[in-house]
Amino acid sequence: MIKQKTGAAASRTRSAALALTLVLSATIGFALPAAAADKVRIAMVVKSLGNGFFDAAHEGAKEAAKQLGDVDIIYTGPTTPTAEGQIEIVNSLISQKVDAIVISANDANALVPITKKAMQRGIKVLSFDSGIAKGGRLMQLNPSNAELIGVKQIQMASDAIGGAGEVAILSATAQATNQNIWIGEMKKALAKPEFAKIKLIATVYGDDQSDKSYREAIGLLRSNPNLKAIIAPTTVGINAAGKAVVDEKLVGKVYVTGLGLPSEMAGHVKSGAVKSFAIWNPIDLGYAATYAAYQFVKGKAQGKDGESISVGRMGSIKLDAAGEAALAPPFTYDASNVDKFAKIF
């Protein structure tokens, strides 16, 4: 027969159980940080938070982390796209002793001293999307070939306006490495005979902020009555320009093109403000950058000229003499396919 425990015996059992719980939680308490310390900590530092393009890149980073199994992602960035904000963040990541930093830089040169410091402390620094100058990172992952991105945008503008007329560029920040390279390529493309009738009349900067980009687009539209197209090589800018064209009742008179996210651009294609735009897959870009960072941490990549780095489901990337590699060509979106891709990014 099971005897009921006396009060004293029951309380002894309770305290034994409590002691056991304490021992267990102490063990787990020690075990958890030890397990976390075994993990590779990769920080993704973006130009600024709240940008859908980088949210998609973060999705890719998380996918790579899940596949690799022993990676923790720290997703971070300043609230506005400034080099100063990123410098502060990198400084704090150095104190946190992360293993790697993958950064889309707000300035090619201003970040070099701080990322050099990070590398001296053993942190693997890679730039992706918007690069850091060669000495400040181990490699730069470009989404695609820069010339292709430049020509593509001029071609789309030309197609939209019948091959002739005034165009203007609405960019991100004036220091953005990637946009400045693409603007240079657009200017080279405009020098080609097939685009001789297209005239670039202005380049303005919306700083990858929706409100500033919108105001800059309105300014372009109001002060240039003969403007035929706004080319925005930024997902934030192109979205704001599409809205400005609709609000100014200029659909059919001014076309917007450039680099956009299908999820943000589907409405602008429907309104008629946009005929076509392009982009690469930002999820793939974030995935490949994270995967490459892991290879550096594990000593499987050094950043040498000609080196091939395996990037999981994306295959491998090859570094050139400038320590750069590129992913796939940009894809074009229009009324025929934008809704399908809007569900993805």
User: Which positions lie near ligand RAM, rule CB under 6 A?
Assistant: 47, 51, 53, 104, 129-130, 172, 176, 178, 208, 234-236, 259
CB of 100 to ligand RAM, least distance (A): 20
C-alpha to C-alpha distance for 131 and 83, rounded to whole angstroms: 12
DSSP sequence for 238-268: HHHHHHHHHHTT-TTTSEEEEB--HHHHHHH
Cα separation, 62 vs 70, whole angstroms = 11
- Tell me the closest approach of the beta carbon of residue 71 to ligand RAM, in angstroms: 23
Rank residues 77 and 165 by Cβ distance to ligand RAM and give the closer one.
77
Residue among 153 and 295 whose Cβ is closer to ligand RAM = 153
Give the nearer residue to ligand RAM in terms of CB position, either 259 or 317: 259
CB of 189 to ligand RAM, least distance (A): 17
**Closest CB to ligand RAM belongs to which residue?**
53
What CA dihedral angle connects 83, 86, 87 and 91, to 10 degrees? 180
User: Minimal distance in Å, beta carbon 43 to ligand RAM?
Assistant: 17
- Among residues 52 and 219, whose Cβ is nearest to ligand RAM? 52
| CB 344 to ligand RAM: min, Å | 16
**Cβ-based nearer residue to ligand RAM, 158 or 281:** 281
SS3 content of the chain, % helix, strand, coil (to 5): 50, 20, 30
CB atoms within 10 A of CB 25: 10
Strand partners, 170: 204
CB atoms within 10 A of CB 77: 23
As measured in angstroms, the least distance from the Cβ of 104 to ligand RAM is 6
Q: Could you tell me the smallest distance in angstroms from the CB atom of residue 307 to ligand RAM?
A: 24
Nearer CB in complex with ligand RAM: 55/99: 55
- Residue 209 neighbours by CB under 8 Å, 6+ apart: 80, 81, 236
Yes or no: say if 113 and 135 are a contact pair by the CB < 8 Å rule: no
Residue placing its CB nearer to ligand RAM in the complex, 115 or 127: 127
Query: Phi, psi (5° rounding) for residue 203?
Result: -130, 125
Token pair recorded at residue 205: 């900067």
35-66 burial code (b ≥16 CB/10 A, e <16)? eeeeebbbbbbbbbbebbbbbbbbebbbbbbe
Considering the complex, state which of residue 71 and residue 183 has its C-beta at the smaller distance from ligand RAM.
183
Cβ 179 to ligand RAM shortest distance, Å: 6
